[in-house]
Chains A and B, each alone.
Chain A
Amino acid sequence: MKHSTFFWFVLPSAILMLAFIALPIVSIVTQSLYTSHEQVLVTVENCGPFGCTEVTSVDQDATQALKAAEPLGKWAGLDVYKDRNHLAVAEVASAWVNADGLPDFGRTLMNLPFYAALAFTLTYTFIVTPLTIVLGFFIAVAVNAVAKALKGPTIFLTLLPFIVTPLVGSLIIFWMVDARGILGTGLQWLADDPTLSVKASTPLMWIMLMFYGIWHSAPFAFVVFYAGLQTVNTDSLEAAMIDGANRWERIRYVVIPHLFPLVTFVALIQLMDNFRVFEPIVSFSAYAHANSLSIAIFNDLGGETRLLSSAAATSVLTIIGVAILLSPVLVRTYRDFSNPR
């Protein structure tokens, strides 16, 4: 391709990527390096229906003057990243020195909001992603074997969990696992424990969230693998049959190698999605048991006082996390493309 043709060909996507990917990243990185100005506090009298009190208030004129002088805020460097609500550098260092053994250090670490959120996010990502791929693959193989007349309806029903809005889907499961819901009561009967409550137990809540994650995204893996199955070379399959390969051996030695590039693709998408786990925690009201980086960002922006720098810092850390997670997959893809077989 001529250079000029190539240039004009990629220009629109390059502009869009610059505007919608690069600039927002520059914006959050900048935001995370600045904090709010020092607030000038004054004591004033505050009166209302319940009488008058002396309260501390922000001196608007003085604070506005500071803001006008430096609209970006106060330069903070990496202070926000290092504070207790993020990487908690000082706290981790002192815990390392003072901890009574590794388990004690772990407990202190899990008491810090960022590490607690990271622990759940990573556990979720590394359990949900492989199980989604395996389950999606088996559904695809099973659906592929269904009689032709039933295929359409089966595919539609299998896709339903993916079609249902995540918030709605998880809310429905949330009420089903309630101690008085159908699944909750069923679990109590199975465990023979009338006080068992999924919502009150941290381990059960984690299992519930991951179960939901797999239930919700397995159809995505299914649809990709199902499409891939349609392209499996029937000649190779027949050859394998003639060689005496049974169904499992055909799947293991013909189908799986053929679908492997798709596994990379699904893993890539799922790793990114699962690292940003958000909706299930909201609809399961699981704040007391599980937190994720996205929830931390949401809380920073949703409170009565918006913590912009804090949210920006967590966003940057999320991007770094996604980059680290994806690097093995990306390196592999790069090698596949640069070394033509």
Chain B
Amino acid sequence: MKLFKYAALGTATAVLMGTSAMAAGHGCNVTEGRINIVGNEFPAIQSVAAAAIGCASGIEAESNLTADHQKINVAGMTGNPAEYTSAIVANSSIVALINEDVVRPLDDLIAAYGQDIPTRQLITIDGKVMAVAFMANAQHLVYRSDVLEQIGMDVPTSYEDVLAAAEKIRAEGIMENPVGGAYAAGWNLAEEFVNMYLGTGGAFFEPGTANVSINNEQGVEALEMMKALTAYMNPDYLTHDSNATSAEWEAGNVALMNMWGSRTGVLMDDEGSEEVVYSNTVAGGPLTVGDSSVAASTLWWDGWTVAKNISDEEAAATFQALAHATSPALLNDETMSQAVWLMDGFDAQPVNEGVLATVAAGANPYPMLPFMGLLHTALGDNIADFLQGNESAEQALMDIEAAYTASATEQGFLQ
């Protein structure tokens, strides 16, 4: 009984909050249907979800923002009716939703409610709009201007420059392990390889097929460069994900690293680190590797989708709320620096410069292929053996290809 009381109280609070948010809302008012958003958890997405929920007036509206969103979004959208009416995804994770056929094309909803959305925000596959992107992200160099000044070197533009600078920083006794990177075995490590391999000009698959082809000169070059970098990293690098790498940075142990644009805000604010660290933290451009002039980075977008297995009313409600939440109305002093927004009226902040430079450098978008996730997993499982010196680069690449081929065969991408 007590439990019931709490539950009732909780609902009442939610209703109250919903009403006050609506009162503060600006120009959107969704009165029919249902909104339930699942997505990743970082400030920009929190702002979007809050704004979308603010549009709901008198209807059920909630969000479930969690770092584990990828593990629940397909399951939560497969049922009929689907639990989630929208999933906020990135260019890698939308593939799983499309493969499982749980998101609907948005063309009719755009015609009815989304005429103002600029074309560059629309993600179209085979002529059908499948998602609306609202922010861009990429990894790029982050450096300590004071340390580079101390050793008298320019800002690195290539990984070769990074190695030279790292050697000098170590030789002068400024830092023992001046290079940082999210090299944790698994997804992070695979992502670093994807960046580096694209930077060498490599292609992951034979065109038009799901046949992997990374066991080549570019693959070896990418692995060798990653190994060279690890010599200047904290010896625990295989356990350092983006969070741990950011912590190393804030502790002042690192002077050069390839880091996500969406995390530079945290590094440059005055929380969690000393003044000498945060005031000298600068977001640089993307790095190159070897003779290739391609940026060794990938471009990412975050965007929202609408579930397929929901009623037209729910789809319309979700679309209207999210279209409003990712319109110029979202932008204010607080939200402006949270991301590289794709909406009109975005005014770039210093923390965003790295991502904008990466876009300007013409980096490749992360491949939006149905079987890329399988390769990413295979990469994450097999690169660590090479970095630890247990096997050759060729052997590691062979293992990756074999692991990918086995799982792609099981998934029906290869016969």
Contact = CB atoms under 8 A, between A and B. Distances in A.
Interface string B389-413: 0010001000100110111011111
A305 B409 CA distance: 13
B365 A83 contact: no
| 5 nearest A-B pairs in the assembled complex, by CB-CB distance | A304-B373, A44-B126, A288-B384, A288-B185, A285-B239
B129 to A, nearest CB: 9
Given A41-B210, A285-B185, A60 B123 contact: no
A106 to B, nearest CB: 13
A302 interface: yes
Interface string A26-40: 000000000111110
Nearest to A286: B239
A92 to B, nearest CB: 13
A277 B83 CA distance: 33
B96 interface: yes
B413 A111 contact: no
Between B369, B380, B410, the greatest number of chain A beta carbons within 10 A of the residue's beta carbon is seen for B410
B236 A56 contact: no
Contact of B374 (A49, A51, A74, A303): A303
Nearest to A296: B381
Nearest to B118: A49
A305 B377 CA distance: 9
A199 B410 contact: no
B185 A44 contact: no
Interface residues of B, number: 70
Nearest to A45: B126
A214 to B, nearest CB: 22
B367 A55 contact: yes
A170 interface: no
Contacts of A113: 381, 403
B411 A111 contact: no
Interface string A265-306: 000000000000000000011111100000000010111111
Contacts of A199: 235-236, 238-239
B153 interface: no
B84 interface: no
Interface in B230-258: 234-239, 241
B412 A178 contact: no
Given A57-B126, A288-B238, A39 B412 contact: yes
B377 A303 contact: yes
Contacts of B367: 55
Contact of B411 (A46, A51, A305): A305
Interface residues of A, number: 55
A89 to B, nearest CB: 12
A245 to B, nearest CB: 52
Contacts of A304: 70, 92-93, 95-96, 372-373, 376-377
Nearest to B95: A304
A210 B306 CA distance: 46
A199 B235 CA distance: 8
A35 B412 contact: yes
15 contacts: A39-B370, A39-B412, A46-B125, A46-B126, A48-B368, A49-B120, A56-B205, A83-B409, A83-B410, A113-B381, A288-B185, A299-B377, A304-B372, A305-B370, A305-B374
B359 A50 contact: yes
Nearest to A82: B406
A33 to B, nearest CB: 12
Contacts of B402: 84, 91
B136 interface: yes
B278 interface: no
B121 interface: yes
B387 to A, nearest CB: 8
Contacts of B124: 45-48
Interface of A: 35-39, 41-51, 53, 55-58, 60, 64, 74, 76, 80, 83-85, 91, 111, 113, 178-179, 195, 197, 199-200, 202, 284-289, 299, 301-307, 309-310
Contacts of B98: 57-58, 60
B70 to A, nearest CB: 6
B15 interface: no
Contacts of B208: 43, 56
B73 to A, nearest CB: 10
Contacts of A299: 377, 381
Contacts of A55: 125, 367-369
A200 B177 CA distance: 14
A41 B205 CA distance: 14
Given A287-B185, A304-B70, A305-B371, A197 B235 contact: yes
A49 B342 contact: yes
Between A74, A306, A310, the greatest number of chain B beta carbons within 10 A of the residue's beta carbon is seen for A306
B111 to A, nearest CB: 18
Contacts of B115: none
B150 interface: no
A69 B93 CA distance: 27
B173 interface: no
B71 interface: yes
Given A46-B125, A49-B120, A202 B388 contact: yes
Contacts of B365: 48, 50-51, 53
B247 to A, nearest CB: 11
Between B95, B126, B184, the greatest number of chain A beta carbons within 10 A of the residue's beta carbon is seen for B126
B127 interface: yes
A50 B301 contact: yes
A301 B96 CA distance: 12
A187 B123 CA distance: 53
Between B123, B133, B373, B407, the greatest number of chain A beta carbons within 10 A of the residue's beta carbon is seen for B407
Contact of B210 (A42, A56, A303): A56
Interface string B112-155: 00000000111111110000010010000000000000000000
A36 B410 contact: yes
Between A37, A47, A84, A303, the greatest number of chain B beta carbons within 10 A of the residue's beta carbon is seen for A303
A309 B410 contact: yes
Contact of B235 (A53, A74, A200): A200
Nearest to A84: B406
A111 B370 contact: no
A85 B400 CA distance: 11
Interface in B83-98: 91-93, 95-96, 98
